[in-house]
Structure 1
């Protein structure tokens, strides 16, 4: 079986994704049509994630000589045991080298020891319920799309239709069960996404003049990146697509417009174009930080020739593959945080600063005694969430749990005193 993989590419400045073989040829015309018709309606990063789930599905069934297209076209579909085997494999990491029921150490004679070792290996390769749910959903939706392609608008036998609907119903039940299981996430009021001591170390370390700064170059740029994520709570993608024209270097001198683009930005040469997932909004930053950004734009950014070809603020400052001066890639932002993580001896990544911002926002609201409903409206505005979004409930639950813990402690103290 030829090795198949996901390929991302640009054509006419527009991003595409495809599942290809070792010769970069599409492995299945129907998979290609599905990706470019159904999945392409989403944001590119979402399309790539869904296509990666489809890759997992195709790899699994192709390895077992099961052609989903032929099965659906013939009206025979996949059997219940075949689906259960797939479901079991969905629990494992994509890179896991072992089949779920294969024991690679046959030289071990003791049956109990072999079983224990196999169980241990399988436990290490488990993935999250959300990942399993995504894989099952992708199989279901792909089968539904294939069924519509081959049998939509045509007369099929009751037996074929009944068999298909039973299979889809089973997939839906399993898909929903993983969704419910993943919702159970006990709230801990004491645990911060980044402990305050680590957060303070990060703030000190990222200063360009800090002796603990782990970077040999690009210190000012990296400081601005971390500081913007910390002060605004925006996502990594939103930060990577900020342009000079988005900054309000006048008036209050403290705002940056975070926008959600409609369609591909043809001025962006990056293969993986960053995107803003939520609504457009204004982010407020300290005036002093805005002044530092202006200095970077005026004095450091122009040192790289290709920076003159676009309006994006943050640029690559290394000339690997001739990228010096080009818009900063999402991968580079990840690498910045990987280096900070190693220096801190604590895993920190861009989205954690979004969570930290929300934690600090909740505490500030408490201290100022802002009404809960008003606070949530303010949070939605600042995060670019829709008016109906319930995302803030995660942070409300932590505040509620903290109050509950305090009340329980006081109640226990009263009981102890009475004793």
Structure 2
């Protein structure tokens, strides 16, 4: 089995991604060109995700001695049975055996037992429709790019062109089928993303002086991180790239500027640089939290020497790898929430607080009798979404269905009252 992996590295302060072999060398120059030309136009985290999808496809075909580059170059392409086998494997986790129908146990003679083990293995290997769709889409786009590189502007035989278009059409059909299926996403009308009781426990637990606080150190920093996500609804990446200069420590003393990433930030030493996906906007927090952020910047952050090398607010406070004082990593933020989740006995993550913010925003809008169109415009502004964004439709649907349930309940009560009066 070939040991192929994704490698992330910095060069000149800029992030790069490559698919390398067991010798740490690029697996294929065309795969490297595709990543650094087509995929690199995206945000870095998106580039990594798309590269992982390509890695999945290259691992599959390489371990079956199928050279995709050579196949496209000589016009053989991928046969229909070969694609069907890949499509079947797309339904499985990366950790699943390369042959999903082969059980990794020896000495099992009973046929029924082998079949049961096979079914069990496949059941545990299933992935989401979005994951399958992404893997199929990446293979299709990579094959299209390779075909254009080798045959674009050149005369190819009718047989090769026909075989190529049939293959791409099949991939598109499979890809689009998952898109249609994933559109059906019933909205819960009553359940909150974080039950109020759990949310209240989280707010109490994260207080630095709380007896339930699960952290032995970095309590102030972790409290500020959770509180900022709760009050602003910003993403994890936007929080990790906040700078001291983004905070308005004057005037109303309640605003933080959220900037969209424009190219690589050469002042950021992190390998996985955080980014802000949506448009630049201002986030509003209460004055008390801003004062606590100022306290952290003035009195806690300076305790770590390397904080003088950059302007990012939140820093690593452990020096196990010489990182104390350097900007906090996305992994560290995830670890904070993993620890909180274990203590709460409820899985909570940064993006869940973004959803909770939107729920609270809805409730506040209804309490103040804000008309729905205006409320959605306000939400788009606060979230940094474009004026034409439909991202808020989920919350709008949820509100509509909640009102529908309330109306139906009242109607049922009237019917019951009439029946009782007869």
TM-score of the aligned structures, taking structure 1 as reference length: 0.97
SS at 2:251 equivalent: coil
SS at 1:115 equivalent: helix
SS at 2:7 equivalent: strand
Matched, 1:324 2:321: no
String of CA shifts for 1:142-166, please: whole Å, max 9, x gaps: 0000000100010001111111011
Per the TM alignment, residue 114 of structure 1 is displaced from its structure 2 partner at its CA by: 4.2
Matched, 1:295 2:295: yes
Matches within 5 A, 1:374-393: 374-393=374-393
SS at 2:316 equivalent: coil
Distance change in 2, residues 1:413/1:141 (3 Å): same
Matched, 1:344 2:344: yes
Partner of 2:110 in structure 1? 109
Per the TM alignment, residue 311 of structure 1 is displaced from its structure 2 partner at its CA by: 0.3
The count of corresponding residues between Structure 1 and Structure 2 is: 418
Distance change in 2, residues 1:68/1:228 (3 Å): same
Per the TM alignment, residue 95 of structure 1 is displaced from its structure 2 partner at its CA by: 1.3
String of CA shifts for 1:155-214, please: whole Å, max 9, x gaps: 001111111011101111111111111111111111111111110000000000000000
Partner of 1:64 in structure 2? 64
Partner of 1:355 in structure 2? 355
String of CA shifts for 1:65-116, please: whole Å, max 9, x gaps: 11111110111111111111111110111112363222445626253x5434
For residues 61 and 50 of structure 1, what CA distance do their matches in structure 2 show? 17
Residue 380 of structure 2 contacts residue 387 of structure 2 at CA under 8 Å; is this kept in 1? yes
Matched, 1:259 2:250: no
Partner of 1:370 in structure 2? 370
Partner of 1:139 in structure 2? 139
Matched, 1:156 2:156: yes
For residues 229 and 319 of structure 2, what CA distance do their matches in structure 1 show? 25
SS at 1:133 equivalent: helix
SS at 1:321 equivalent: coil
String of CA shifts for 1:18-74, please: whole Å, max 9, x gaps: 001122110111100110111111111111110000000000011111111111011
Partner of 2:312 in structure 1? 312
Where does structure 2 lack aligned partners over 5 or more consecutive residues? Answer: none
Matched, 1:275 2:285: no
For residues 115 and 411 of structure 1, what CA distance do their matches in structure 2 show? 54
Greater alpha carbon shift after TM alignment, 124-133 vs 373-382: 124-133
Partner of 2:414 in structure 1? 414
Partner of 1:190 in structure 2? 190
Where does structure 1 lack aligned partners over 5 or more consecutive residues? Answer: none
TM-score of the aligned structures, taking structure 2 as reference length: 0.97
Distance change in 2, residues 1:404/1:118 (3 Å): farther
Residue 2 of structure 2 contacts residue 62 of structure 2 at CA under 8 Å; is this kept in 1? no
For residues 22 and 67 of structure 2, what CA distance do their matches in structure 1 show? 19
Partner of 2:41 in structure 1? 41
Partner of 1:240 in structure 2? 240
Distance change in 2, residues 1:310/1:70 (3 Å): same
For residues 257 and 121 of structure 1, what CA distance do their matches in structure 2 show? 49
